[in-house]
Amino acid sequence: MVNLPLAEAPVVDYGEDEAAMVRYRVEGTERALMLDNRGPIRFDADGNLDPAILDAYSRHGFYVLTGVLQPDELADLERDVADLLDRAPVTKGATVDRHGRPALGRDCTGRNVSWVKPLSDPIGGTDAAHGRHPAKMIEPRPPDGAPPYVVQLVLGSLQFSDACLRVYGHPDLLRVAEAINGPDFTPFNEAVWIKQPRLGGSVAWHQDGWTHWDHPDLDEGTHGFNYMAQLYGCDAANGLWVVPGSHRIGRADITAMVKAAGSDRLPDAVPLICGPGDVAITNRQAIHGSFANTSDDVRVTINFGFHRRRSVLNVTSGGVHSAITTYDEHYIEERSKLIAYAIDARRQRFGDEEPYRYQPFAGREDEFRWNDEARAAIKDYNLRDLGI
Ligand SMILES: O=C(O)CCC(=O)C(=O)O
C-alpha cells in the first residue's frame, strides 16, 4: 500500500449530512451493480470487441472492464505511485521533496503535481476550466492536524512512471479504444488521481467537453473517453460517480440538477465499483464527479483518455490542459508518439503479449524504442495534451 498515513482523527465524516451520505452511498452502489455494464474485455475470433460491451457503454456512458491488470502489473504501479509521492514537493510550492532532493517535475514547464486543501472542493461554482464545474460540493470539516494541502493529481504522468506508460500501451485497452474511436484514434491526456484517506478533496459534478457542444455533428462520442484504471479498487466513498446516460443529452444544466436534488447528491448518479486491476471507461460527456474522501481507503486511479481524430484535427482549443492552439497534423503526431513508446515499453516488460499495432505509426515501430533517449525526448510531452 502506498505510504499515506491516516489523519489522526477518531472520525472524519460529513457532519449533519453523514446519515444522508451513508444512505446515498448504499443506494447508489445497489443501482450501480444492477446495471449491465461490467465484465472482462471480450473479443471474438476475428478480434472484434463484443458488441454487448459497446452497446452497454453506449447506453450508460461508462463500463467497468474487470480484471484487466494482473498482480505483477499492479505491483509495478504501486511501486511507481509510491515513488511519485516520495518525490513530490514536500508541500505545495516547495522545490524539494521530503528528502531534500529536487522535487518531481521541478524542471518541467508543463503542469504536473496538483494539490487540494483537505476535503475541499476547489473548483465547484467557479469559472475554472471554462466554468464546467458549476455547483459547489459539500466540504466536510478537515480533521485536526491535517496538512494544509495534499497531493490530488499528477499530470503528464507518463514521463514520471514507466508502469503508467506500460498501462497506456496495454494491447486490449488500445483495441477497445480503436473499437470506440477508430484505428486512427489520438491521445487526450494522462494523470494519476490520488484520493487520500480522510483528506482527499472532491471534484465537482461536470461534463468534460467544452468545444463541440454546439457542433452540428455532435454525438455521444464527440469529446472522447477516459480510462480509469484502479490500483486498489474504488467504491461509493472514494470513487468517481457517473450519471448513466447523461453523455447523450448534450450540455446538461448541472446547476439546476443540484438545485432540484437539494444537495450535491444527484439522485440518478451511481459510483464506479471496481476491484484492483479493473479499468473503467468513462465517456467524457457523461456528468461525473467525486466526493471528498472521508473514508479510510485511498483511491489511486491511472487516468488516460483517447479521442476520435476528427474531434481534434484542426480544432483550435486549449486553455485547460494545454495552451490555446490549433491541433494540426504535426501537433497530433508529436503527441501520439506517446502511444508508440508505450507499446514498446510494454513489449519490453510483457514479452509474451501480442503488442498492439497503432495504425498511424504502422511500419515505423523501430523509430519508437523505449530507452533513455526516448525518456529524455518525452519531457514535458503534456504541453501538447489534446483538450477539447
Ligand atoms: O477521479 C476523479 O475523482 C475525477 C476524475 C475526473 O473528473 C476526470 O477525469 O474528468
List pLDDT tens digits, range 126-144. 888 888 898 999 999 999 9
Residue whose cell numbers read 523501430: 366
Of ligand 1's listed atoms, the one at least distance from the Cα of 290 is 3
Q: How confident is the model at residue 1 (pLDDT cuts 50, 70, 90)?
A: confident
pLDDT of residue 326: 96
- What gap in Å lies between CA 62 and CA 60, rounded to an integer? 5
Mutation pick for ligand 1 pocket among 206, 226, 285, 288 (CB with most ligand atoms within 8 Å): 288
Whether the pLDDT of residue 362 is over 70: the answer is yes
- Classify residue 266: in a domain, yes or no: yes
Q: Are strands 62-65 and 38-39 parallel, antiparallel or unpaired?
A: parallel
Cβ contact 119:142 at 8 Å: yes
The cell for 173 is: 485497452
Which element (helix H / strand E) includes 70?
none
- Give the mean pLDDT of 180-207: 98
Which element (helix H / strand E) includes 317?
strand 316-317
**DSSP characters for 275-299?**
-TT-EEEEETTS-EEE----SS--E
Q: Are strands 288-290 and 203-206 parallel, antiparallel or unpaired?
A: antiparallel
- Split into its structural domains, the chain has a count of 1
Ligand 1 atom 6: residue of nearest CA: 289
- Classify residue 357: in a domain, yes or no: yes
Whether the pLDDT of residue 9 is over 70: the answer is no
For ligand 1, the distance from its centroid to the CA atom of residue 240, given in whole angstroms, is 7
- Classify residue 135: in a domain, yes or no: yes
- Classify residue 66: in a domain, yes or no: yes
Pocket of ligand 1, beta carbon within 6 A: 193, 203, 208, 226, 240, 288, 290, 301, 303
What's the DSSP call for residue 144? Answer: T
- What gap in Å lies between CA 272 and CA 270, rounded to an integer? 7
**E strands in 184-239:** 186-195, 203-206, 225-230
- Classify residue 36: in a domain, yes or no: yes
How many angstroms separate the first and last alpha carbons of the chain? 35
- Classify residue 63: in a domain, yes or no: yes
Alpha-helical (H) ranges within the chain are: 18-34, 51-60, 71-87, 128-131, 162-168, 171-181, 254-261, 309-312, 329-349, 372-377
CATH number at residue 210: 2.60.120.620
Query: What radius of gyration do the chain's Cα atoms show?
Result: 20
The CA-CA-CA angle for residues 233, 304, 225, to 5°, reads 95
pLDDT of residue 318: 82
- Classify residue 62: in a domain, yes or no: yes
Domain limits at 349? 15-384
Ligand 1 atom 10: residue of nearest CA: 208
- What gap in Å lies between CA 182 and CA 130, rounded to an integer? 28
- Classify residue 10: in a domain, yes or no: no
Q: Among candidates 332, 305, 337, which has minimal Cα distance to 317? A: 332
- Give the mean pLDDT of 279-296: 98
Across the beta sheet with 270-271, what order do the strands follow?
203-206, 288-290, 240-242, 270-271
For ligand 1, the distance from its centroid to the CA atom of residue 210, given in whole angstroms, is 15
Mutation pick for ligand 1 pocket among 301, 320, 385, 388 (CB with most ligand atoms within 8 Å): 301
Mutation pick for ligand 1 pocket among 130, 238, 240 (CB with most ligand atoms within 8 Å): 240
Q: How confident is the model at residue 239 (pLDDT cuts 50, 70, 90)?
A: very high
Which element (helix H / strand E) includes 270?
strand 270-271
For ligand 1, the distance from its centroid to the CA atom of residue 349, given in whole angstroms, is 28
Backbone torsions φ then ψ of 20, nearest 5 degrees: -65, -35
- Record the pTM: 0.97
Per-residue pLDDT tens digits for 184-196:
999 999 999 999 9
pLDDT of residue 280: 98
